[in-house]
Amino acid sequence: MKGYDSRPLFPTQIVAGWFTITPMLQDLDFLAARVGQLVQLARQLQAECAAHQARLHTLEQERNALRDELHRRDAEYSSASERMADHEAQLQAVRNEAQAALAAAKSESDALQAQLHAELSRYKTEAEALRGRLSASEADSSRLRGVAAKAREQIDSILMRLPGAPQE
């Protein structure tokens, strides 16, 4: 084992005279050295344990801080997600309104365009009818002028034949 001598705890050799003090003192010195090593090792282990506990405490504090940060970010994310969902719903409502308004405007535009086409067709028909009447009226007017000119000539001719009419 680490830090231990290879010397056995109890010596197996017995020196002449089993009641000699030197080997016992040596054994006690050895035992005291071993106890000193154990105490030193125990202190070293206690120091390492204290260092590990301090490190563990620090890590627990970091973990708690990170957990709190995670909870805060989760709350922010949830809040942002809710706001985004609200905005998305509002945007969809505005889109739906815009589409409905566009459909209504298109429907009204189509109706107005159909009405304008009907009026244009009616006005074209009226214009054609008025042109026909104008042509007929001009033809009648031209014919009446011709008839009036003939009638004048005939009246002039009759008036010329009357007695007492001035002779040209």
Q: What is the pLDDT of residue 160?
A: 82
DSSP label at residue 165: P
Residue 11: count other Cβ atoms within 10 Å of its Cβ.
13
Q: What is the pLDDT of residue 23?
A: 87
Local confidence pLDDT in tens for the 168 residues of the chain: 444 455 554 554 544 555 678 888 899 999 999 999 999 999 999 999 999 999 999 999 999 999 999 999 999 999 999 999 999 999 999 999 999 999 999 999 999 999 999 999 999 999 999 999 999 898 989 988 999 999 888 888 888 887 776 665
Q: What is the pLDDT of residue 19?
A: 63
Query: CB-based contacts of 10: which residues, under 8 Å, 6+ apart?
Result: 27
Query: Is the torsion defined by CA of 110, 116, 118, 121 positive or negative?
Result: negative
Q: What is the pLDDT of residue 156?
A: 84
Q: What is the pLDDT of residue 1?
A: 43
Query: CB-based contacts of 168: which residues, under 8 Å, 6+ apart?
Result: 160
Q: What is the pLDDT of residue 120?
A: 92
Query: Is the torsion defined by CA of 108, 111, 115, 117 positive or negative?
Result: positive
Q: What is the pLDDT of residue 168?
A: 59
Report the distance separating Cα 160 and Cα 168, nearest Å. 9
Residue with tokens 């054609």: 128
Q: What is the pLDDT of residue 106?
A: 93
Distances (CA, A) of 9 to 1, 21, 34, 85: 13, 17, 9, 78
